[in-house]
Amino acid sequence: MQFRPCIDLHNNQVKQIVGGSLRDDAAGLRTNFESEYDSAYYAEMYKRDNLTGGHVIMLGPGNEESALLALKTYPKGLQLGGGIKPENARQYLEAGAAQVIVTSYLIEDGAVSQRRLDELMKVLDPAELVIDLSCRKTAAGDYLVVFDRWQKFTAQKISADLLEKLSQYCCEFLIHAVDMEGKMSGVDGELVAKLAAESPIKCVYAGGISSYEDIDLIAANGGGRIDYTVGSALDIFGGHLSYQKLAARTNGGA
């Protein structure tokens, strides 16, 4: 189990945003943290500490300059997501992304589109693609994939069949528990256990981590198979969990 760092970008600035509050206009946007440092500062930190597989997410338009700066600073050390589609995927890989992360492009008529998967495979190998299946839990207990900055529900349930099918097209899944994201209210242990039991490939969980006990819960429920990312709770983003401690754990420290 590894710690995956992140760089979330909004209006070309590194921020930590409360999940589900991002919309086309600024109304309703809630942030936990807005950094005085640029994306290169964080990318250089992750490079120095030999942390791989972290993700840079462009939250809406107007973030390409900062995203490309991060990729240039840590080439092949970071994944990139946000507005990725067949027309631009290769340019980001050539600019230094280790993989590209795709979410909304894959959704068509309320479900993951086979046609769009096929279009991606014309320009990408599975080793170059991470599929984001960020989700929200319904009253019925199903986890439904959400898209368009997590504002829209699909009819697509997270299931063993879906994960098995999509695993043929990508190298891992990134899954935000959207209702937990940015709230530091604890992790969705049920979702972690579900991913560990049903996914044939690596999953990265994000959402709600606020303590070392939360990380231990991911380890226990995930059987050591689920990697994790911490945002708002990290001290480098104004929180209280030690980035250096998590980096040391990933690199074999205590």
Here the tokens at position 163 are 């994960």
Enter the DSSP assignment of 53: S
**pLDDT, tens only, 27-78:** 445 667 788 899 999 999 999 999 999 999 998 888 999 999 999 999 999 9
Instruction: Check if the beta carbon of residue 42 is closer than 8 Å to that of residue 236.
Output: yes
Element (H, E) at 125: none
Here the tokens at position 9 are 């970008």
Separation of alpha carbons 58 and 30, rounded Å? 16
Q: Is 79 a residue whose pLDDT tops 70? A: yes
At residue 184, the pLDDT reads: 61
**pLDDT, tens only, 86-133:** 999 999 999 999 999 998 999 999 899 999 999 999 999 999 999 999
At residue 21, the pLDDT reads: 45
Q: How confident is the model at residue 254 (pLDDT cuts 50, 70, 90)?
A: very low
The edge-to-edge listing of strands for the beta sheet with 152-157 is 135-137, 143-147, 152-157
User: Can you list the positions of beta strands (E) in 3-128?
Assistant: 3-4, 6-10, 13-17, 31-34, 54-58, 78-81, 100-102, 107-108, 111-112
Q: Is 187 a residue whose pLDDT tops 90? A: yes
Separation of alpha carbons 9 and 34, rounded Å? 10
